[in-house]
Structure 1
Amino acid sequence: MRNLIIIILFFAFAKAYSQQDSKQVYKKRVLETTEIDFLTSYYGQDGDNAAVSGGIGTEELNDFTTTFVVSIPLNDDDVLTIDAGISAYTSASSSNVDPFDDGPADPFQASSGASAGDVWSSISGSYSHSSNDRNSIVNANLSIANEYDYFSLGFGGSYTKLFNEKNTELSISANVFLDSWTTIYPTELRPFGNGGNGLNNDLFTQNTITGNQNYTPIFNEFSDTGRNSYSVGLGFSQILTKNIQGSLSLDVIQQEGLLSTPFQRVYFADIDNSFIDHFHLAEAIEQLPDSRFKIAIGGRLNWYLNEKISLRTFYRYYFDDWGITSHTASIEVPIKLSSKFTIYPSYRFYNQTKADYFRPYETALSTETYYTSDYDLSQYSANQFGLGVSYTDIFTKTRLWNYGIKSIDLRFFQYDRNTTFSSGIITAGIKFVRD
C-alpha cells in the first residue's frame, strides 16, 4: 500500500511538472510572425471658405498618402512596430499664401507659388510587452513628423490590464507632442515685419493698390514658435454578453504655445479694404490664445447579431475652453457575404458650436484681442457616408515572395458639411504575413 501511494504521488508530481514545463515551452506568442501592412489613400476636398484668404476663396486640396506598418515579434512577449508614411499634397488654398506671383491674384484661383504643394513625412516606433498570463500590456512609443513649415516630436506610453477572465479591460495612456513652426506669413505682410520696408517693397511699387491706398495692416511676428500638447486617456471595456461588448473612454488634452496658424488672414469690419488685382490684402493674421484645454468622452457598443451581421456604434461628446462643444455619432454594419468577403456600410454625423473667437469674412473688429476666420472653428454640422469591402484569407494561400496575403481592405468615404465644404477619400490596405 505504501509503495502504491508513492507511485501515485510520483506520477501526480510528474504530470504537474510536465504541465508547468509545457506551459513554459509552448506559451502562445503575442504575435506569431512578422506582419506588414501596406496602406494608401487618395483624398480630395473643395469649398469656398479658405482660412488662408480670410474665410473666402477656394479650399481645393488633393493628397496622396502611402504608409508601411511593420510588426515584428521579438520573442514570445514583446512586439516592435515601425510605422513610416509619406504624404504629398497640392493645395489651391495654401498656394494663396503668395497669390501675387503669376498673374492676376484671386482668392478663388490657385497660385503657383512654393506653398502650392508639399510633402509630409513621419516615422514612429512602438514597443509592447505582455505579461506571461497576457493580462497586462505595457507599451511605449516615439514618433517624428516633418513638413515644410512644421516639425513634431512625440512620445508616450500606455498600460492595459485585463480582469475577469479577460472580459474586462482597463487602460491608461499618456502622450506628449513637442512641435515647432517655421513661421510663414502672407506675402503682403512680410514687408511690415522685422526689418521690412513697408509700402516701399517691390510688391507695392510694382503693383497698384486699389481701394484704401494707405495700406497699414496690424502685424507683429510671433515670438514663440513652439507648440506643446499633453494628453491623458482612460479606457474601460466590458464584454456584456456573448454577443455584446461595450467600452467607455475619456481623453484630456492640454495645448500650449503657438496655436494660431501664421499664414491665415483676417479682415476687419472697421478698416477700409485694400486690394491688388482681385485679392483683398490681409489686415491681420489669425490670433488665438496660447493655451487650449480639451475633453472628449466617448462610448462604443458592438453587437454581434448573427454570423452574418454585426452592429458597431459610437458616440462622443467634446468640449474645450475656446467655446466649442460637439457631438459625434456613428454606426457601421459589417455584413459577412462569405467566409472571405465582408462589406462595411457606415454613417457618421457630426455637429459643433463655433469657437468664441470665430469671425466670418469682414466681421472681426480690429479692437478685439483674438480672432480667426477658420471655418473649422465655426458652427456647422456634417454627414459622412462610407462603404468598404474586405477580403480575408486566414490560411494565406495567396503569396507574394515569402509573405502570404492575410487580408485586403478597400473603403470610400464621402463627407459633406452644411457649408460649401465637401471631401472624399479612398483608402486601401493589404496585410502580409511572413512564413
Structure 2
Amino acid sequence: MRKTYSLRCSILFILITSLTYAQDSTATYKKRVLESTEVDLLASYYSQEGNNAAVTGGLGTEELTDAAPTIVISIPMNDDDVLTIDGGISAYTSASSSNVNPFDGGDNPADPFVASTGASSNDVWGNLTGTYSHSSDDRNTIWTGKLSFSTEYDYTSFGFGGSFTKLFNEKNTEISLNGNVYLDSWKIIYPFELRPFTEGGQGINDFLFNAYPLLGNANYDPQFTELGEKRRNSYSLGLNLSQIFTQRLQGSLAVDLVLQDGLLSTPFQRVYFGNVEDTFIQNFQLADDVERLPSERLKLAIGGRLNYYLNEIFVLRSYYRFYIDDWGISSHTANIEVPVKISQSFTLYPSYRYYNQSASDYFAGYEQHFSTGDFYTSDFDLSEYNANQFGFGLKYTDIFTRFNIGGFGLKSIDLKYNYYERNTGLSANMIAGGFNFVMQ
C-alpha cells in the first residue's frame, strides 16, 4: 500500500511540474514565508504576595493578581510578506495600588497591610501591535516594521520600530539589527494625602484632615512640590548574532542598549524620611514625599544562548545575560531548560532561572531616606536581591492538525507553570497557556 501511495505521489509531482513548465518555462518555485493564516490564543494568570509595597513606602502588602488574554494573528499577504496583529488586555487587582487612597475603605480603618476598596484597587491595560515583515526572494534578507499602542487609566504609550535581518553562510549565520521608540505620557496621580498640598489645594485645612484626627505629629506639613514632567520616552537599539555551529550545537549573542528620558519615577509611590516626625490617620502613615528619580536612564544588556541537541529525547537550552545601568544597578540572569520528548506529540520542559542584582544608588527602605536628598525611592524592584524561578511545561504538537474549528486546525498546545521567589519575601505563581491554530 505504501508503494502504491508513493507511486501516486510521484506521478502527481511529475504532472504538476510538467504543467508548470508548460505554462512558463522560466518560472522557479518559491516557498511562501507563511503558507496560511495562523492564530495564537494565549492567556496567563499571575498572583503575587509580599510585604514591601512601593505605594506605601516599602512597607505594606504587595498582594496582586493579573489575568492577561492575548490573540496573535499572522496573515500571509503574498509569497514574501506577512502581517501580524497582536492584541491583548491585562486586568489586574492590586492591594498595593488600592492604597493610593487608603481612606475610601468604608468601615475598615486605613492600613498599609490591608487593601482599600477604592477605584485604584484594579485597572485594565490594553495593547494593540501591528508588525509587517518582508522577505527577499532568496529568504536571506528580512525587513520588519512595527506600530503599537497601549493604554491604561493613568498611562498611554505609542510605539514604532523596525528590524533588519541578514542570513549568510547557507543560512547558518544570522545577524539582525532592531530599533524601537516608545513615546509615553502619564496622567499624574499623587497619594491622596499629598493632593491638598498641590497647587490650588487647601493644605492642612483640607476636609481629609478635618474628617480624621491626626496621630503622632499633629503639625503635618510635607514640603511637597509637584513633578514637572508628564512624558516618558524610551529608545532602544539591539544587535543579535545567531550561529549554527554543528548539527547539534546552536548559539546566539545579543546586545541591547536602551535610553529613557522624562518622568521615570511613579507619581503615587510614597517615600518616608527618617528625619521627619511620623503622622498617621488611623493605622496609615501619611507620606513625606513621592518617589523622585533622575530624568534619564541608560541601560545596557549583553546576553547569550547556547542550545545543544543531545539525542532524540533531550535538548539542552541555556541562557545568560549581564545587565548594567547608570542608576547603579547591575544584574546577572542564568536560565536552563531541558525539553524532554516523551512521544511524537508530547514534550515536557522543566526549567530553572536564577537572577541577582545590586541596589540602585537611589534606593533605601522604609524611613531610611533623608529629606536632604535629591533622589529617593523605596521600590524594592530597585533594591539588592536575588530570585529563583522554577518552571515546568507541557507541549502537545499535531503536525497533521486533525482537530479543527471553523476551518482552523489545531497545530499545538502549550501549558506552563512557574514559581518565583525573592529573598526579600516576595513570591509569585504564574500559569500560562497557548493554542496555535493554522488555516486549512
Indicate the residue corresponding to 2:44 in structure 1.
41
Q: How much has 1:218 moved relative to structure 2?
A: 2.6
Indicate the residue corresponding to 2:9 in structure 1.
none
From 317, 324, 328, the equivalent of 1:319 is 324
User: 1: distance between equivalents of 2:164 and 2:24?
Assistant: 29
The answer to whether structure 1 residue 97 and structure 2 residue 95 are counterparts is no
TM-score (norm 2): 0.94
Indicate the residue corresponding to 2:232 in structure 1.
227
User: 1: distance between equivalents of 2:330 and 2:317?
Assistant: 24
CA pair 21-336 structure 1, distance change in 2 beyond 3 A: farther
From 277, 284, 289, the equivalent of 1:279 is 284
Indicate the residue corresponding to 1:404 in structure 2.
409
CA pair 164-22 structure 1, distance change in 2 beyond 3 A: farther
User: 2: distance between equivalents of 1:36 and 1:307?
Assistant: 29
Indicate the residue corresponding to 2:373 in structure 1.
368
CA pair 23-357 structure 1, distance change in 2 beyond 3 A: farther
Amino acid at match of 2:259: Q
Which 4+ residue blocks in structure 1 deviate beyond 4 angstroms? Answer: 17-25
User: 2: distance between equivalents of 1:360 and 1:22?
Assistant: 75
Indicate the residue corresponding to 1:418 in structure 2.
423
- Per-residue CA deviations over 1:291-327 (Å, capped at 9, x if unaligned) read 0000000000000001110000000000000000000
The answer to whether structure 1 residue 210 and structure 2 residue 215 are counterparts is yes
User: 2: distance between equivalents of 1:230 and 1:186?
Assistant: 29
Secondary structure of the corresponding residue to residue 96 of structure 1: helix
Indicate the residue corresponding to 2:161 in structure 1.
156
The answer to whether structure 1 residue 50 and structure 2 residue 42 are counterparts is no
User: 2: distance between equivalents of 1:84 and 1:227?
Assistant: 23
Amino acid at match of 1:43: Y
- Per-residue CA deviations over 1:11-65 (Å, capped at 9, x if unaligned) read xxxx9x9599678453100000000000001100000000000000000000111
Amino acid at match of 2:35: E
From 327, 334, 357, the equivalent of 1:329 is 334
- Per-residue CA deviations over 1:398-427 (Å, capped at 9, x if unaligned) read 111211000000000000000110111100
CA pair 222-130 structure 1, distance change in 2 beyond 3 A: same
- 2:397–2:412 contact (8 Å) kept in structure 1: yes
From 279, 290, 294, the equivalent of 2:295 is 290
CA pair 21-250 structure 1, distance change in 2 beyond 3 A: farther
CA pair 22-68 structure 1, distance change in 2 beyond 3 A: farther
User: 2: distance between equivalents of 1:181 and 1:395?
Assistant: 48
Indicate the residue corresponding to 1:68 in structure 2.
71
Secondary structure of the corresponding residue to residue 381 of structure 2: helix
Indicate the residue corresponding to 2:256 in structure 1.
251
User: 2: distance between equivalents of 1:287 and 1:86?
Assistant: 29
Indicate the residue corresponding to 2:12 in structure 1.
none
Which structure 2 residue ranges, 5 or more long, are not aligned?
1-17
Aligned residue pairs, count: 420
The answer to whether structure 1 residue 118 and structure 2 residue 161 are counterparts is no
User: 1: distance between equivalents of 2:23 and 2:334?
Assistant: 48
Percent of residue pairs bearing the same amino acid type: 61
The answer to whether structure 1 residue 32 and structure 2 residue 35 are counterparts is yes
CA pair 19-141 structure 1, distance change in 2 beyond 3 A: farther
Indicate the residue corresponding to 1:7 in structure 2.
none
User: 2: distance between equivalents of 1:221 and 1:363?
Assistant: 22
- Per-residue CA deviations over 1:218-248 (Å, capped at 9, x if unaligned) read 3111121000000000000000111000100
- 2:21–2:27 contact (8 Å) kept in structure 1: no
User: 1: distance between equivalents of 2:434 and 2:168?
Assistant: 33
CA pair 163-20 structure 1, distance change in 2 beyond 3 A: farther
CA pair 202-343 structure 1, distance change in 2 beyond 3 A: same
User: 1: distance between equivalents of 2:232 and 2:26?
Assistant: 49
The answer to whether structure 1 residue 181 and structure 2 residue 196 are counterparts is no
Which structure 1 residue ranges, 5 or more long, are not aligned?
1-14
Indicate the residue corresponding to 2:433 in structure 1.
428
User: 1: distance between equivalents of 2:431 and 2:279?
Assistant: 41
User: 2: distance between equivalents of 1:22 and 1:138?
Assistant: 31
C-alpha RMSD over aligned residues: 1.4
CA pair 185-360 structure 1, distance change in 2 beyond 3 A: same
Indicate the residue corresponding to 2:6 in structure 1.
none
Amino acid at match of 1:94: S
